[in-house]
């Protein structure tokens, strides 16, 4: 299985340097990754590095815990779009999910979606499936699945548990066919990445992207 076209080549560490962004953009173009995912302040620079390629630029919103105010998330989204972002990985308010505050989450989404879709940007909602119950995951699939999002995403990579085959299968079972799945968090080798794709993931968020596509053993220093 050729996995390069599934991968969002990712660097989100707080110590990210411009040279790091330049490197992942170079690698993404070389290997044919779907996108790079960079901190919001590097969107404009990543777009410059990727001129003339088909690689998309993604960034994160409300990262990593999702509990910033809706107005703050909207401001982040607008600024990212001004900088030329193609795809937005938006962290849902995880605290609201755990508190079963579905009204808050629906309101958050109702404010975000028109702004994103007015510019035809791709939106991925991150729900941190590793710390949710199956019932909570299913409820998220129902809430976000009817809203017109492009992807439901498993994890930020900052919780104690990231992507799992079980979560991806549960997503696929309860999401409309039109909503795709992005698996992220702890994907460090080819075997696991392939399992996630076979389970239904159509994107993979990885910092160990080169190890994965080269079929290398576990990259123990990867952190996404």
**Nearest-10 crossing angle of helices 190-199, 165-174:** 20
User: Is-contact 127 137, C-beta < 8 A?
Assistant: yes
Known catalytic residue at 182: yes
Q: Tell me which H or E stretch contains 10.
A: strand 7-10
Q: Phi/psi class of residue 128: alpha, beta or left (left: φ > 0; alpha: ψ in -120 to 50)?
A: left
Pairing of strands 87-91, 56-61: parallel
User: Is-contact 193 165, C-beta < 8 A?
Assistant: no
**Residue tagged active-site, from 73, 89, 139, 150:** 89
**Residue tagged active-site, from 47, 73, 139, 182:** 182
Known catalytic residue at 135: no
Known catalytic residue at 150: no
3-state SS class at 123: strand
Q: Going by C-beta distance under 8 Å and a sequence separation of 6 or more, which residues neighbour residue 40? A: 59, 60, 61, 76, 79, 80, 83
Q: Tell me which H or E stretch contains 173.
A: helix 165-174
Q: Tell me which H or E stretch contains 122.
A: strand 122-126
Please state, in angstroms and rounded to a whole number, the distance separating the CA atoms of residues 224 and 216: 17
Q: Would you please indicate which residues are annotated as catalytic (active-site) residues?
A: 89, 153, 182
């Amino acid at each position: 299985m050729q996995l390069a076209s599934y991968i969002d080549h990712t660097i989100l560490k707080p110590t990210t340097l411009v040279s790091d962004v330049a490197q992942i953009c170079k690698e993404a173009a070389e290997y044919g990754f779907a996108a790079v995912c960079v901190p919001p302040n590097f969107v404009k620079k990543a777009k410059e590095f990727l001129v003339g390629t088909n690689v998309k630029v993604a960034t994160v919103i409300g990262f990593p815990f999702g509990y910033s105010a809706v107005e703050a998330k909207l401001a982040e989204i607008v600024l990212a779009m001004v900088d030329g972002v193609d795809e937005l990985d938006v962290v849902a308010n995880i605290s609201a999910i755990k508190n079963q505050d579905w009204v808050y989450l629906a309101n958050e989404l109702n404010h975000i979606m028109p702004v994103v879709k007015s510019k035809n940007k791709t939106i991925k909602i991150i729900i941190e499936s590793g710390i949710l119950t199956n019932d909570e995951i299913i409820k998220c699939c129902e809430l976000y699945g009817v809203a017109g999002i492009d992807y439901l995403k498993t994890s930020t990579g900052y919780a104690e548990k990231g992507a799992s085959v079980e979560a991806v299968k549960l997503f696929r079972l309860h999401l409309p066919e039109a909503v795709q799945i992005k698996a992220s968090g702890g994907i460090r080798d080819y075997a696991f990445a392939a399992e996630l794709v076979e389970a239904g993931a159509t994107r993979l968020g990885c910092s160990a992207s080169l190890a994965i596509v080269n079929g290398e053993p576990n990259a123990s220093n990867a952190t996404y």
